[in-house]
Amino acid sequence: MTPVEASDPGPARLLITRFRSGQELLERYLSDFEHGGLFVPTRKVLAPGEPVVLDIRLPALRDHTWLRGRVAYSRRGRRKTGIRAGLAIELLPEENEKRDYLLALARDTAGPASPQRKFRRIPVADYSVHWRIPSQQGRHASTIADIGQGGAFIRTPTDLPTGTAVVLELVPPGALAPQLIEGRVAWVRKAPGTEGLGVEFRCRDLGGLRRLRELVRRIRDHQITAFHAA
């Protein structure tokens, strides 16, 4: 296994990864990483540490799902020995819940699937956000880990009661002025190292919904570059 030379990580890469069966997913699973990982067969070369998003396609899944990670190392293929070229992707700790569900699904031991969100969330590489509570002075500097038309996850150790109204200030890629988005805290994550707030957006009119849709599209295009894993 040969590490590739480090370089500027740039936007996260979206690796579209198909598994023909749960057994194939288990065979590609890398348990030697603290939070697990996956080996993705591909001739694409990415730098160690580069952020990636795995778009998982599995027959047992109702819909494809995304897992965030970073490139650990690359492996060159060897035809004579049948070793496939590919990337070892180390998963981020925030993906533990989805990781466990996928492994259980692959082993055919998963319980009922969780309800699907109306709007798909886009994983992003720590996109900057400022947020505040309308009834209080001051604002908080944080990052978001994912965003969609329905809401976003804010990385923050701040613990707020569910239902708390918040206003997010997000600067669209290529813009200077922030876009204000109203929302409420829908749920709170308290696990050490993955603390944060799940915020549900609330648009007052169709104009606000269109602006939010455009913001999400611009963030997606800026943050994620897609290619298919071979």
Percent of the chain with pLDDT over 90: 38
66, 38 Cβ separation under 8 angstroms: no
189: exposed, middle or buried (Cβ count in 10 Å: 0-12, 13-18, 19+): middle
Q: What is the pLDDT of residue 111?
A: 54
Dihedral pair phi/psi, residue 45, rounded to 5°? -105, 125
Give the count of beta carbons closer than 10 Å to the beta carbon of residue 8: 6
Q: What is the pLDDT of residue 2?
A: 34
Secondary structure percentages of the chain, helix, strand, coil, to 5: 15, 40, 45
Name the region of 35 (left: φ>0; alpha: ψ -120 to 50; beta: rest).
Answer: alpha
What pLDDT digit, counting tens, does each position of 34-59 carry? 999 999 998 888 899 998 888 888 88
Q: What is the pLDDT of residue 120?
A: 65
Q: Would you state the structure tokens that stand for residue 89, as one six-digit string?
A: 């992707």
Judged by DSSP in three states, 189 sits in strand
What pLDDT digit, counting tens, does each position of 183-205 carry? 999 999 888 878 899 999 998 77
Spatial separation of the C-alpha atoms in residues 167 and 227, rounded to whole Å: 35
Dihedral pair phi/psi, residue 82, rounded to 5°? 80, 10
H or E stretch including 74?
A: strand 65-75
63: exposed, middle or buried (Cβ count in 10 Å: 0-12, 13-18, 19+): exposed
pTM metric for this prediction: 0.62
Dihedral pair phi/psi, residue 2, rounded to 5°? -115, 115
Looking at this protein, which amino acid is placed at residue 65? T
More confident residue, 222 or 180: 180
Q: What is the pLDDT of residue 224?
A: 65
Spatial separation of the C-alpha atoms in residues 181 and 211, rounded to whole Å: 10
Give start and end residues of each alpha helix (H) in 91-205. 96-106
What pLDDT digit, counting tens, does each position of 76-101 carry? 877 766 678 899 999 998 888 889 98
With tokens 């070369």, the residue in question is 45
Which residues, including other chains, have CB under 8 Å from residue 81's CB and lie 6 or more apart? none
